[in-house]
């Protein structure tokens, strides 16, 4: 029996993780859950899975959770310490980190220090602190298993292969809803249109990131840290059908790909079962004949500049990826609020990056300080570019 902690259990990935537990109740047990603000849904999960410990982001949320749990006795904690308590609980073997944004950073590091296997769905953790997180994992002999579908695919393709045999990684991207839009048309798209992702059902922030290609940019940085390859060894291709989840080219010219349905339960199950493979039971299988054709195109880097901003951040290194990530979060928030145009998102990010003096990422304090600075700087930039301003 493997015992799970799920950070972000009420979100899209968290709910998929619980569906994997339901399908494998003989092999997986929920030991700990953490959510941001949704006390009602977390209370329903507590009633169903009876975890040893549960966390809400705030003390107020914890009070609402206790009220919603009624007579059931539960160990409720809150705040950043609460998240760490969930991630490091004695009864936990695998920590699935699916909390949104940067909240999971300390908790992931603490889980690694306590020897927990980390199944990582939150790419911000590696974008902001890849060196600290992978360094800690090496020191503590802990595996980081990627849940992000592309990296999960690469992990499967690389299984047991020597790093020296890798020529390059090829990340696939659906291209998002605006793949074929002209530069002019992109100027006037709104949040409602951007939230209509063609192939994946995901949270709001990542869906906008998919539309700008920043999601792929963040994934390039994530791939660098997970697989120890350089920016020059990571390529991106647009693959609108989202069936080939990513590929690895080996030095002899062979390309190995992983194909499957677009369903996050697949990579989550892989991370839970690794190094074994389990019967997917409740999941539909990929029907190649129905899928028909598979297309691949080069990304339109001029219309979607976020991708190259991410490459620049990775090549420069140090704190620049932190700035990229923080400025993007702010810009996306403003876009979702209807205050910023779609094509202004990369402008906010680029101007914030240009204003930053790059440092080395030596501690989490550096990461947090630069994150704060970047958010403030990006907010000012976004206000200056606001619609109707
Ligand atoms: Mg992905």
Report the CATH number that the domain containing residue 335 is assigned in CATH.
1.10.1740.10
Within 10 angstroms of residue 104's Cβ, the number of other Cβ atoms is: 25
Within 10 angstroms of residue 226's Cβ, the number of other Cβ atoms is: 25
- Separation of 171 CA from ligand 1 center, angstroms? 9
- Separation of 95 CA from ligand 1 center, angstroms? 19
- Separation of 176 CA from ligand 1 center, angstroms? 12
Task: Look up the CATH number of the domain holding residue 9.
Answer: 3.40.50.720
Q: Pairing between strand 234-238 and 255-259?
A: unpaired
- Separation of 150 CA from ligand 1 center, angstroms? 5
- Separation of 214 CA from ligand 1 center, angstroms? 11
Domain presence at residue 251: no
User: Before 275, cis peptide (omega within 30)?
Assistant: yes
- Separation of 219 CA from ligand 1 center, angstroms? 7
In this prediction, residue 330 carries a pLDDT of: 97
**Cα angle 209, 33, 371; round to 5:** 40
pLDDT at residue 389 is higher than 80:
no
Q: Which helix (H) or strand (E) holds 248?
A: strand 244-250
Domain presence at residue 8: yes
Tokens matching residue 351: 């101007």
Of 119, 146, 173, which residue sits at a domain end? 146
pLDDT at residue 199 is higher than 90:
no
Domain presence at residue 186: no
CA distance 356 to 210: 25
Strand partners, 110: none
> Which of 44-58, 154-168, 195-209, 270-284 is least confident?
195-209
pLDDT: is 240 or 101 the higher one?
240
Average pLDDT for residues 91-99, to the nearest whole number? 96
- Separation of 347 CA from ligand 1 center, angstroms? 23
Q: What is the mean pLDDT of the chain?
A: 95
What's this model's pTM, rounded to 2 decimal places?
Answer: 0.95
> For 231, phi and psi rounded to 5 degrees?
-55, -35
Query: What pLDDT digit, counting tens, does each position of 3-53 carry?
Result: 999 999 999 999 999 999 999 999 999 999 999 999 999 999 999 999 999
Domain presence at residue 285: no
- Separation of 208 CA from ligand 1 center, angstroms? 13
> For 301, phi and psi rounded to 5 degrees?
-65, -30
Of 111, 146, 181, which residue sits at a domain end? 146
Tokens matching residue 379: 């907010």
Of 146, 180, 198, which residue sits at a domain end? 146
In this prediction, residue 311 carries a pLDDT of: 98
Tokens matching residue 202: 């995901």
In this prediction, residue 127 carries a pLDDT of: 97
Average pLDDT for residues 214-237, to the nearest whole number? 98
Domain presence at residue 28: yes
CA distance 279 to 263: 15
- Separation of 199 CA from ligand 1 center, angstroms? 12
> Which of 70-79, 150-159, 263-272 is least confident?
70-79
- Separation of 15 CA from ligand 1 center, angstroms? 17
**Is residue 328 a contact partner of residue 289, using CB atoms and an 8 Å limit?**
no
pLDDT at residue 200 is higher than 80:
no
- Separation of 266 CA from ligand 1 center, angstroms? 13
Average pLDDT for residues 281-297, to the nearest whole number? 92
Average pLDDT for residues 243-249, to the nearest whole number? 98
Using CB atoms within 10 Å of the CB of residue 260, give its burial: 0 to 12 exposed, 13 to 18 middle, 19+ buried: buried
Q: Give the residue numbers spanning the domain of 32.
A: 2-146
Domain presence at residue 137: yes
Within 10 angstroms of residue 4's Cβ, the number of other Cβ atoms is: 27
**Is residue 62 a contact partner of residue 77, using CB atoms and an 8 Å limit?**
yes
- Separation of 308 CA from ligand 1 center, angstroms? 17
Q: Tokens 């080069």, residue? A: 298
pLDDT at residue 202 is higher than 90:
no
| Residues with Cβ within 8 Å of residue 380, at least 6 apart in sequence | none
CA distance 144 to 53: 23
* Tally of domains within the chain: 2
Least Cα distance to 322 among 80, 131, 112 occurs for 131
Average pLDDT for residues 205-220, to the nearest whole number? 95
- Separation of 66 CA from ligand 1 center, angstroms? 34
DSSP of 52-71, one letter per residue? SEEEESSHHHHHHHHHHHTT
- Separation of 261 CA from ligand 1 center, angstroms? 13
pLDDT at residue 101 is higher than 80:
no
Domain presence at residue 266: no
- Residue 196 binned pLDDT confidence (cut-offs 50, 70, 90): confident
Q: Pairing between strand 255-259 and 244-250?
A: antiparallel
Domain presence at residue 284: no
- Separation of 73 CA from ligand 1 center, angstroms? 37
- Separation of 200 CA from ligand 1 center, angstroms? 10
- Separation of 206 CA from ligand 1 center, angstroms? 9
Query: What pLDDT digit, counting tens, does each position of 318-371 carry?
Result: 999 999 999 999 999 999 999 999 999 999 999 999 999 999 999 999 999 999
Distances (CA, A) of 139 to 85, 157, 245: 21, 25, 30
Distances (CA, A) of 60 to 43, 65, 77, 331: 14, 9, 11, 28
């Amino acid at each position: 029996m493997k015992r799970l902690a799920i950070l972000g259990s009420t979100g899209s990935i968290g709910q998929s993780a619980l569906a994997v537990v339901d399908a494998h109740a003989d092999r997986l047990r929920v030991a700990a859950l953490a959510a941001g603000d949704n006390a009602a849904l977390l209370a329903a999960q507590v009633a169903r899975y009876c975890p040893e410990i549960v966390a809400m982001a705030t003390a107020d949320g914890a009070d609402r959770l206790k009220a919603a749990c009624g007579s059931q006795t539960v160990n409720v904690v809150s705040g950043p310490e609460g998240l760490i308590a969930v991630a490091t609980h004695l009864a936990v073997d695998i920590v699935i980190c699916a909390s949104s944004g940067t909240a999971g950073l300390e908790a992931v590091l603490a889980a690694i220090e306590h020897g927990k296997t980390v199944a990582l769905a939150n790419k911000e953790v590696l974008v902001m602190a890849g060196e600290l997180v992978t360094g800690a994992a090496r020191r503590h002999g802990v595996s980081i298993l990627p849940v992000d579908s592309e990296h999960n695919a690469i992990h499967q393709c690389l299984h047991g292969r020597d790093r020296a045999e890798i020529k390059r990684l090829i990340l696939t991207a659906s291209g998002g809803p605006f793949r074929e839009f002209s530069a002019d048309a992109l100027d006037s798209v709104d949040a409602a249109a951007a939230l209509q992702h063609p192939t994946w059902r995901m949270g709001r922030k990542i869906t906008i990131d998919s539309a700008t290609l920043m999601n792929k940019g963040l994934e390039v940085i994530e791939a660098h840290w997970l697989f120890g390859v350089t920016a020059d060894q990571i390529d991106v291709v647009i693959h609108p059908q989202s069936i080939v989840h990513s590929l690895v080219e080996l030095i002899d010219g062979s390309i190995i790909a992983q194909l499957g349905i677009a369903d996050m339960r697949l990579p989550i199950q892989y991370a839970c079962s690794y190094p074994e493979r389990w019967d997917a039971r409740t999941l539909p299988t990929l029907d190649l004949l129905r899928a028909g054709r598979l297309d691949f195109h080069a990304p339109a880097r001029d219309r979607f500049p976020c991708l190259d901003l991410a490459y620049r951040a990775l090549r420069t290194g140090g704190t620049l990826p932190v700035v990229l990530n923080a400025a993007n979060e702010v810009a996306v928030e403003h876009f979702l609020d209807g205050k910023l145009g779609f094509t202004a998102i990369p402008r906010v990010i680029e101007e914030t990056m240009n204003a930053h003096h790059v440092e080395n990422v030596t501690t989490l304090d550096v990461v947090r300080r630069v994150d704060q600075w970047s958010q403030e700087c990006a907010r000012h930039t976004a206000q200056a570019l606001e619609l109707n301003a």
